[in-house]
């Protein structure tokens, strides 16, 4: 009975650092929970699992969700903690549902342990202290009450507890605030009002949440329109720009061009923030200056914040409010908040909740704007108000069944740096996909048409945008297979989004071998693609290196004067593209890493994103 398996799943664990010299790293492990212990195994495809560690359930003191605002440096973004003996095991789940299932099951199995903790730490132990309370003893008593019965039931937890979401929600995530207005599109949805509070009922779907307003009305809304209600959450403030690079921040502030234009953004160091300010006061040769100030924290508890040591505040909003009225050591007071997100609401995942098929009567075609591998692309309008790109599919290019399957894959993918699919139209021939419209066209044309006008910071920002989108695809096991500047689109403020998933396939083992005869662009292709038609996210990484070269050469054609056969021969002989003039040494090194011959030697997109962010901060 004790060996009965309750749960098993691939998760990521952080090293427990049982010795002071132990490295801090992350490993994918196959976790198995039985009635007596939690075990984790090394997992390699096609090979026998090797036990790497285990924890007796009777020795567990605490199991709880970790709530933190730091950047999670691994693929899975939903952490929870298991405190046992004198160690803390941090585990990262692929989604909220998985995390809740593990936490609740572990709580249920350990709720009667004799050695349960009375308090726990809600945040990580990091850099020698607890981020939640700043205590410097790793095994110090927690700072919040631990309730082992919270969300635990008397009956064993079913595999998918779909009818208990009110119980499953972390209470700190249950109340949210709308940061955009949203008008309900069908009876299943709920209208959102900016700055109003709502209660989350069901957050199991990534992009659409079921919520309740203060009058008791329920309905689905885009999850990207909501943020958690918390005194520490800065996302409700227009001046806060999450996950924006230094180079992108400088571009936005220069575009604003007003004295005292400012924003608060995430610093390179997780959990820290930077204030970026535009000023003409320090300008030389009529070139304005952008100053970056790190928001400092006091070492006492509760921590306080300051830019100038004489002016210390209980919260970051209080600090910003003060410096909006007083320069107090800054080059100028903070006058005009600049936002990368407030002016325009994010594109929703699909036209509305649960809707995939768009009626032909809802679409108006205006003009042809291009053609692709599968058909013609038109500029059009959806419901006479939303500009869209209508991509028709040539008869015979793919079956209707394949078309529907591709659309279903696309509808599951939603990210600020991916061109969003609104839906599909099946009524008229040819059938078509309806996408978000990007005003400035494809990246390759944009680079050529404005050649000579781009700063290095702007070009790096474009590469960062593409890398963000590709890191998201990598995380979701999606291979692009045709990544190039021509298949990326440009919006306002040089924002670039990855497009054209006509050749994408979702694969569980991160590898896809194309069928015989499939055409591919040799000059963007990795050696294993043009030699064996073998695609993976690492072949996408090779293509990304070529895309970076396109960007920093402002739209030049790679290997311009060479035939495909010559390119294949030279790449196999070790030849690589030269360093563009606008690329720094550090940027060219990143490109070169993407072009390593062995695919396993190439970096992941998540690591490339880290590298490019570092360059953006220090070495543009």
Active site amino acids: 482
CA distance 51 to 71: 29
Q: What is the DSSP track for 463-483?
A: HHHHHHHHHHHHHTTEE-S--
CA distance 30 to 39: 8
Q: Is 263 exposed, middle or buried (0-12, 13-18, 19+ CB in 10 A)?
A: buried
**Cβ neighbours of residue 544 closer than 8 Å, sequence gap 6 or more:** 466, 467, 470, 483, 594, 605, 608
Answer positive or negative: Cα dihedral of 9, 411, 608, 613: negative
SS3 266: strand
Cite the annotated binding site for ATP by residue number. Answer: 391
Structure-derived torsion over alpha carbons of residues 409, 413, 417, 423, reported in degrees to the nearest 10: 70
CA distance 398 to 372: 14
Cite the annotated binding site by residue number. Answer: 391
Nearest Cα to Cα of residue 617 among 284, 255, 265:
265
Q: What is the DSSP track for 8-19?
A: EEEEEEE----S
358-364, Cβ contacts within 8 angstroms, sequence gap of 24 or more: 358/382, 358/422, 358/423, 358/424, 358/425, 358/434, 359/425, 359/427, 360/425, 360/427, 360/428, 363/388, 363/390, 363/425, 363/434
């Amino acid at each position: 009975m004790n060996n009965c398996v309750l749960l098993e799943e691939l998760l990521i664990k952080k090293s427990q650092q049982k010795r002071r010299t132990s490295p801090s790293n992350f490993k994918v492990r196959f976790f198995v929970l039985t009635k007596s212990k939690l075990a984790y195994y090394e997992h390699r495809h096609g090979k026998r699992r090797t036990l790497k560690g285990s924890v007796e359930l009777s020795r567990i003191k605490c199991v709880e969700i970790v709530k933190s605002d730091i950047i999670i440096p691994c693929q899975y973004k939903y952490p929870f903690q298991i405190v046992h003996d004198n160690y803390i095991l941090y585990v990262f789940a692929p989604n909220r549902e998985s995390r809740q299932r593990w936490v609740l099951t572990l709580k249920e199995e350990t709720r009667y342990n004799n050695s349960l903790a009375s308090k726990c730490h809600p945040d990580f132990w990091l850099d020698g202290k607890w981020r939640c309370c700043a205590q410097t003893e790793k095994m110090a008593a927690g700072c919040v009450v631990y309730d082992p019965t919270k969300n635990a039931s008397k009956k064993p937890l079913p595999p998918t507890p779909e009818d208990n979401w009110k119980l499953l929600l972390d209470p700190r995530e249950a109340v949210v605030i709308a940061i955009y207005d949203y008008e309900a599109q069908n009876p299943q949805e709920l209208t959102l009002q900016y700055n109003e509070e709502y209660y989350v009922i069901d957050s199991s779907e990534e992009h659409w949440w079921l919520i309740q307003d203060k009058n008791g009305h329920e309905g689905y809304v885009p999850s990207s329109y909501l943020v958690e209600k918390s005194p520490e959450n800065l996302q409700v403030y227009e001046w806060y720009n999450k996950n924006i690079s230094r180079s992108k921040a400088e571009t936005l502030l220069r575009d604003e061009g007003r004295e005292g234009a400012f924003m608060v953004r995430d610093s390179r160091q997780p959990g820290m923030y930077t204030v970026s300010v535009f000023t003409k006061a320090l300008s030389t040769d009529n070139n304005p200056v952008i100053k970056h100030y790190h928001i400092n924290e006091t070492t006492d508890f509760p921590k306080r914040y300051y830019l100038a040591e004489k002016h210390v505040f209980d919260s970051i909003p209080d600090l910003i409010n003060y410096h909006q009225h007083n320069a107090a050591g800054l080059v100028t007071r903070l006058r005009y908040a600049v936002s990368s997100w407030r002016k325009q609401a994010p594109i929703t995942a699909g036209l509305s909740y649960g809707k995939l098929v768009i009626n032909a009567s809802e679409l108006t075609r205006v003009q042809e704007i291009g053609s692709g591998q599968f058909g013609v692309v038109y500029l059009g309008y959806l419901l006479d108000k939303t500009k869209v790109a209508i991509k028709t599919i040539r008869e015979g290019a793919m079956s209707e069944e394949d078309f529907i399957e591709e659309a279903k894959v696309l509808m599951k993918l939603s990210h600020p740096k991916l061109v969003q699919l609104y839906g599909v139209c099946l009524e008229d021939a040819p059938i078509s996909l309806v996408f978000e419209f990007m005003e400035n066209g494809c990246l390759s044309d944009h680079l050529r048409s404005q050649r000579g006008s781009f700063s290095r910071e702007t070009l790096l920002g474009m590469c960062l945008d593409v890398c963000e989108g590709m890191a998201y695809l990598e995380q979701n096991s999606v291979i692009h297979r045709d990544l190039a500047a021509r298949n990326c689109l440009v919006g306002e403020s040089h924002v670039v989004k990855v497009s054209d998933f006509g050749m994408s396939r979702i694969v569980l083992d991160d590898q896809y071998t194309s069928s015989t005869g499939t055409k591919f662009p040799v000059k963007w292709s990795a050696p294993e693609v043009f030699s064996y038609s073998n695609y993976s996210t690492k072949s996408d990484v090779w293509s990304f290196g070529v895309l970076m070269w396109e960007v920093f050469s402002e739209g030049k054609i790679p290997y311009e004067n060479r035939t495909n056969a010559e390119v294949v021969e030279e790449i196999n002989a070790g030849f690589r593209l030269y360093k563009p003039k606008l690329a720094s040494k550090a940027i060219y090194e990143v490109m070169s890493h993407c072009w390593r011959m062995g695919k396993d030697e190439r970096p992941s997109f998540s690591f490339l994103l880290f590298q490019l962010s570092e360059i953006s901060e220090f070495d543009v």
